[in-house]
Structure 1
Amino acid sequence: MMSFFSIISLLLLLFSLSSVVISDGESFQKLPVPENRSGPEAFAFDSTGKGFYTGVSGGKILKYTPETGYVDFAQITESSNSSWCDGVVGTALAGRCGRPAGIAFNEKTGELYVADAPLGLHVVSPAGGLAVKIADSVDGKPFKFLDGLDVDPTTGVVYFTSFSSRYTPIQVLIALGLKDATGKLFKYDPSTKVVTVLMEGLSGSAGCAVSSDGSFVLVSQFTKSNIKRYWIKGPKAAGSTDDIFSSSVSNPDNIRRIGSTGNFWVASVINKVVMPTDPSAVKIDSNGKVLQTIFLKNEFGNTLLSEANEVDGKLYIGTLTGPFAGVMKL
């Protein structure tokens, strides 16, 4: 049986050998990650709108602008800057180096919140540098495997998910194979500095996103191929607090709202546990209806697509293990 690292290495090899097809001149661009790191998993955008921030293997958070390319912005641990954290694959050495997963800015304070897969919830000052750990457990229970994160643009409340509360990132294939359903949705309120559990019993809760009007949070269930909705406010929040928002997206990962439009982009693959196929970006509206699907196999091969994030007419596309971020003109 192939080991976890053998499988990830195979995915990286296939991904690096896959050809990138540009269908319209400059419509698709590769932005290779430096220092032999990999997996620009999620993106965050500051108020300048000139580039993006992304977490990569080895525990670094990079800032990218067209003028400077990638530069170091922050790191999860002191070890993240060490030479032996360069070139690590996936979640290898993540317990020491860190592995940033979900990231998002508080638009009012300029602070960057980070869900590090094995090391917990962190925050980075607007100046960057070493991240500050906020929490690695709740009610005495370790997080184990954090994944998605979003910040309510109005309240500054942070919502984040755990893919599993039983298995660690290095055990992700076990979690998928056993259809683990111990994922959770959490809330962190910066005003009270308290973390609370909002939802439990989730199956591969990979991503989350606050609606543009702040009335609900979407949570993807990768293993069950659906998206749940947790009501924050309004009449539905008083009674049943969650429902199935959409079952139309196969194996959804990160979810990102599209400005104030009320729509969302969802990263999707068809999960074969060992070898995912047909990566795509799926746009859905505020009722869960699919509006558009962009198939990305020509650009990304059979890889673990993790995020599609639209800003200023461009779609920024991330992966769990790939060596580059993708940018596509819409």
Structure 2
Amino acid sequence: MLNIVTMMISVFATFIFLVCTPSAALLLNRLPLPSPLTGPEALAFDRNGSGPYVSSSDGRIFKYVGPNEGFQEYAYTSPNRNKITCDGLADFSTLQATCGRPLGLGFNHQTGELYVADAYFGLLKIGANGGPPIQLVGPAQGNSSMFADGLDIDPDTGIVYFTEASANFQIKDISTILTSGDSTGRLLKYDPSTNQTTVLLSDLAVPNGVAVSRDGSFVLVSEFMENRIQRFWLKGPRANLSDTFIRLAGKPDNIKRNSRGQFWVAVNSYLGLPRRPIRRVLPSGVRISENGLVLQVVSLAQEYGTEPASEVQEFNGTLYAGSLFVSYASIFIP
């Protein structure tokens, strides 16, 4: 009976998403990365509310300091980074395997440490004052994460949940991933108190975004190629089981929880055949309740055109968005 109810809720939510007219988001500001960098795929705010901190194409993480100073370098993900080789690197360069490509960001607000999912170096930790990375789960370890993508941190336990988008491909192979039918992705859990990594879900079709519920009872993971978000139960009678949280009329990317326990998801609808080199993309931010109901759809097409949005998150009543394919972070009123 529970499965039937869950399916009905999911279908209803998708129907609402399909028929509702997205509202337009009012652009407040663009925060440009230092030229020629691109790709603020992920954003984060520290425990003091400072930021946003953003990832970039050359392996560095930047902190937005203010309108006069703009973004300043905060950290990097390659343990042996060479500034001469890496600074200013474009996205999808073969040198990213050496310089790093951070994709997921999240602060532990108890310790001030920044956790990073890097496409080449796995799960890393940055000290409270920035600087060099500490690799926690990476290619040199038996519990390797080849293509780490998204992450979130349980604010009460400090446990990190992160995704491996593919076990067969890397980010430089993104076109192949999207046309290959690859389903080797995983959802993983890293416990900093024991330094242990556990696989929670496997055989996922390009999982990217992750978000823990407000009460810590479940964690969500988006499956880009399946147009859905799965829910893995951490507590309660369904602990260690999973179900479909919602199906969407588009491909979900990163997920971010807001202060009310709701979730913002970057969703991109691709119009045209997947293998065609030119497609029309309709980027949007979708706000979803804890029960998997669509509450709001905000169109980002005026801001990003045909470029996909990677992340949308709400902070102090405004929306911040990023994309793997642009050179700035955006601030909106939803």
* TM-score (norm: length of structure 2): 0.87
Q: Out of 75-84 and 245-254, give the one that drifted further.
A: 75-84
Q: Out of 74-83 and 292-301, give the one that drifted further.
A: 74-83
Contact 2:319 2:333 in 1 (8 A): yes
CA displacement, residues 37-82 of structure 1 (integer Å, 9 cap, x when unaligned): 1101111111111321111011101001325321110011256451
The alignment partner of 2:253 has SS state of strand
Contact 1:60 1:81 in 2 (8 A): no
Aligned to 1:288: 292
Q: Out of 85-94 and 214-223, give the one that drifted further.
A: 85-94
1:107 CA displacement: 1.0
Aligned to 1:31: 31
CA displacement, residues 70-127 of structure 1 (integer Å, 9 cap, x when unaligned): 1110011256451332332223111111000001011111110000011111000001
Aligned to 2:318: 314
Structure 1, gaps ≥5 residues long: 1-21
Q: Please tell me whether residue 65 in structure 1 is matched to residue 65 in structure 2.
A: yes
The alignment partner of 2:311 has SS state of strand
Contact 2:123 2:145 in 1 (8 A): no
Aligned residues: 304
The separation in 2 between residues aligned to 1:198 and 1:255, in whole angstroms, is: 18
Q: Percent identity?
A: 42
The alignment partner of 1:140 has SS state of coil
Contact 1:138 1:195 in 2 (8 A): no
Aligned to 1:77: 78
Aligned to 2:10: none
Contact 2:106 2:152 in 1 (8 A): yes
The separation in 1 between residues aligned to 2:85 and 2:35, in whole angstroms, is: 11
1:249 CA displacement: 4.6
The alignment partner of 1:305 has SS state of coil
Structure 2, gaps ≥5 residues long: 1-23
The separation in 1 between residues aligned to 2:45 and 2:55, in whole angstroms, is: 12
Relative distance call for 1:139 and 1:56 in structure 2 (3 A) is closer
Q: Structure 2: which amino acid aligns with 1:88?
A: L
Relative distance call for 1:28 and 1:135 in structure 2 (3 A) is same
Relative distance call for 1:303 and 1:81 in structure 2 (3 A) is farther
1:137 CA displacement: 4.5
Aligned to 2:8: none
Aligned to 1:115: 117
The separation in 1 between residues aligned to 2:140 and 2:219, in whole angstroms, is: 20
C-alpha RMSD of the superposition: 1.8
Q: Structure 2: which amino acid aligns with 1:51?
A: G
Q: Structure 2: which amino acid aligns with 1:321?
A: F
1:151 CA displacement: 0.3
